[in-house]
Chain A
Amino acid sequence: MIKLKNVTKTYKRGADDEVVALKDVSLEVGKGEFVFVVGPSGSGKSTFMKLLTREQLPDAGEIYVAGKDLTSLRSWKIPALRREIGYVFQDFKLLPNKSVSENVAFALEVIGKGRREIQRRVPEVLELVGLEDKTGAMPHELSGGQQQRVSIARAFVNNPRILLCDEPTGNLDPSTSVGIMKLLDRINRTGATVVMATHDQHIVDSMRRRVIELENGVVVRDQSRGVYGYAG
């Protein structure tokens, strides 16, 4: 489902100041896997996610996502790639002037789905995330955990094969985070591959899933039923 071969990504800051965000990273994530990407701030977790959605291009190496070679993907084919990927942000990124169901429906409208499919799919996914009684609410009327559920619903409404979550619980308290994790676990069980970048030690330790640890852009650990740190 996801495959990186010797991927290096550097950011240029000014004339000759460079930051190596990922260095010679090779890894594979199979279909239906649940993977945590952990590591200290600045270790390259978000960069890894952005490479998978083709928001960034690597300087070297090969990346394959959902059967597509991203380094040679023509730019007009990027939308098709992104329709196979759901993306969840730490700060939700909901549109403030749209209601819960409008925010979710928006993701289907702008890729040209028919009205009937939208009317069927939106309530379905809102029920999956447990917000069936909040469909008409505006984002500012929701708690952080509820807003994150809306953003997960939006990411998943198109039935993507891959769900990428960049610190989805970063702004939430521990008990709310547990609820979000249960939801992601449920989505994973429907067959979707889930990749989640996080700082949250408790979550990683309690889920006992595959853990990929980055440090200064290098993979220092790839453990199949891992915990957050070696000491943990």
Chain B
Amino acid sequence: MSARWRYIIQESAKGLRRNPLMTVAVILSITVSLTLLGATLLLRDQIDLATDDWVEQVEVSIFLCDGTTCPPITDEQQETLRRDLEDQPVVEEVIYESKEEAYERFSELFKDQPNMLEIVEPDILPASFRVSLVDPDEFLIIRDQFEAYPGVEDIVDQREILTQFLNFTRIVRNGALAIAVIQLAAAALLIGNTILMSAFARREQTAIMKLVGASNWYIRLPFLMEAVITGLLGALVSWGLLYGVVPRVTEGLSQEVLLMPFIGVTEVIAAGPPLLLAGFGIAAISSIVALWFFQDS
């Protein structure tokens, strides 16, 4: 068994060395396509993070005064506000979020960004009423009615901010996905072509192997290995690129866009296995198809 494996490894190494420039071209092409694919995976993570269930349910935040910019809201004022909100027909649900709950949610949302946690003191976040509407477009009614209530600091249409951001991210993500698919197809063709060339260069040896009764998998495995090695190398390089670039970008963004959670190193690391799987899969499938064609001809 060990002699067999040594043969298979030797032969795949031969295949990779026969045309080093071609090997590099294949690896680069896989790298480009998988980097794009990885970027779309990470953008999806980013979207998920920003649309975490809680955020999506709540459409309007009514922040309550805590004495920083306006006199703190009294219990009485708060009770009136809640009752009037609940009586308002466009309001579906009202949830009170205390300062502690606000900080808890904030810490959870930004657990990957310690610098955010540092600059935000636990009692800096205001308490709020989080209001969901029967029809999300009725925001203006809420603002006009409750803006002037005593103890109300600010009324924010969370949905508006979120939708703008999400629309932008989705467009970027779909664009990246489309390019990634085209690049992947190109990489697959390049792998298939390389394997065909490799098989053609060794056709005499393959013919002899067939005639002395070598099994099909034994004949094909070196070619498959050759492709899979390039696929995995390409995936590793793209993973490395994302690891080097993405956390820096999101860190920079989090300085600019406050109060929005961003993905970090954790998500990039988690993107590795799917990328390796994709590199492996694309290489294996395209080389199997190529060898299948080669055998038919």
Q: How far is the CB of A85 from chain B (nearest CB, A)?
A: 8
Which residue from B3, B4, B213, B218 sits with its C-beta under 8 Å from A81? B213
B208/A106 in contact, CB under 8 A = yes
B214/A79 in contact, CB under 8 A = yes
A109/B211 in contact, CB under 8 A = no
The binding surface of chain B is classed by DSSP as helix
Determine the chain A residues whose CB is within 8 A of the CB of B4 once the complex forms.
109, 112
B218/A112 in contact, CB under 8 A = yes
A81-B213, A87-B211, A115-B3 known; A110-B204 Cβ under 8 A: no
Size bracket of the B interface: 10 to 19
A109-B7, A114-B3, A115-B3 known; A93-B216 Cβ under 8 A: no
B7/A110 in contact, CB under 8 A = yes
A95/B212 in contact, CB under 8 A = no
State the total of A-B contacts with C-beta under 8 angstroms: 52
Determine the chain B residues whose CB is within 8 A of the CB of A154 once the complex forms.
212
Determine the chain A residues whose CB is within 8 A of the CB of B209 once the complex forms.
110
Nearest residue (CB) in A for B207 is: A93
Q: Mark B183-213, 1 if CB is under 8 A from A, else 0.
A: 0000000000000000000001101111111
Nearest residue (CB) in A for B215 is: A79
Determine the chain B residues whose CB is within 8 A of the CB of A78 once the complex forms.
213
Determine the chain A residues whose CB is within 8 A of the CB of B3 once the complex forms.
109, 114-115
B211/A95 in contact, CB under 8 A = no
Q: A80 in the interface, Cβ–Cβ < 8 Å?
A: yes
B212/A93 in contact, CB under 8 A = no
Which residue from A79, A95, A106, A109 sits with its C-beta under 8 Å from B213? A79
Determine the chain B residues whose CB is within 8 A of the CB of A107 once the complex forms.
208, 212
Determine the chain B residues whose CB is within 8 A of the CB of A158 once the complex forms.
212-213
Determine the chain B residues whose CB is within 8 A of the CB of A75 once the complex forms.
216
Nearest residue (CB) in A for B219 is: A110
Determine the chain A residues whose CB is within 8 A of the CB of B205 once the complex forms.
95
CB neighbors of B among A58-98 (8 A): 75-76, 78-83, 85, 87, 93, 95
Determine the chain B residues whose CB is within 8 A of the CB of A115 once the complex forms.
3
Q: A169 in the interface, Cβ–Cβ < 8 Å?
A: no
Q: A220 in the interface, Cβ–Cβ < 8 Å?
A: no
Q: A193 in the interface, Cβ–Cβ < 8 Å?
A: no
**What is the CA–CA distance of A76 and B211 in the complex, to the nearest angstrom?**
14
A93-B204, A93-B207, A115-B3 known; A76-B216 Cβ under 8 A: yes
**What is the CA–CA distance of A115 and B1 in the complex, to the nearest angstrom?**
10
**What is the CA–CA distance of A75 and B211 in the complex, to the nearest angstrom?**
13
CB neighbors of A among B1-15 (8 A): 1, 3-4, 7
Q: How far is the CB of B288 from chain A (nearest CB, A)?
A: 16
Q: A159 in the interface, Cβ–Cβ < 8 Å?
A: no
A93-B204, A95-B205 known; A111-B212 Cβ under 8 A: yes
Which residue from B7, B204, B214, B219 sits with its C-beta under 8 Å from A95? B204
Q: Mark B1-42, 1 if CB is under 8 A from A, else 0.
A: 101100100000000000000000000000000000000000
**What is the CA–CA distance of A166 and B216 in the complex, to the nearest angstrom?**
24
Most chain B CB atoms below 10 A, which of A76, A107, A110: A110
Nearest residue (CB) in B for A94 is: B208
Q: How far is the CB of B205 from chain A (nearest CB, A)?
A: 6
Determine the chain A residues whose CB is within 8 A of the CB of B215 once the complex forms.
76, 79, 111
A110/B211 in contact, CB under 8 A = no
**What is the CA–CA distance of A115 and B213 in the complex, to the nearest angstrom?**
18
Nearest residue (CB) in B for A83 is: B213
A82/B208 in contact, CB under 8 A = no
B207/A111 in contact, CB under 8 A = no
Nearest residue (CB) in B for A95 is: B205
Nearest residue (CB) in A for B6 is: A109
Determine the chain B residues whose CB is within 8 A of the CB of A79 once the complex forms.
213-216
B208/A95 in contact, CB under 8 A = yes
Determine the chain A residues whose CB is within 8 A of the CB of B211 once the complex forms.
53, 82, 87
> Which 9 A-B residue pairs are closest in the complex by CB-CB distance?
A82-B213, A83-B213, A110-B214, A107-B212, A79-B213, A79-B215, A110-B209, A87-B211, A111-B213
A residues whose Cβ falls under 8 Å from a Cβ of B: 53, 75-76, 78-83, 85, 87, 93, 95, 106-107, 109-112, 114-115, 154-155, 158
Additional A-B contact list (15), CB under 8 Å, known A83-B213, A110-B219: A75-B216, A76-B215, A76-B216, A79-B215, A82-B210, A95-B204, A106-B208, A110-B209, A111-B214, A112-B1, A112-B4, A112-B218, A154-B212, A158-B212, A158-B213
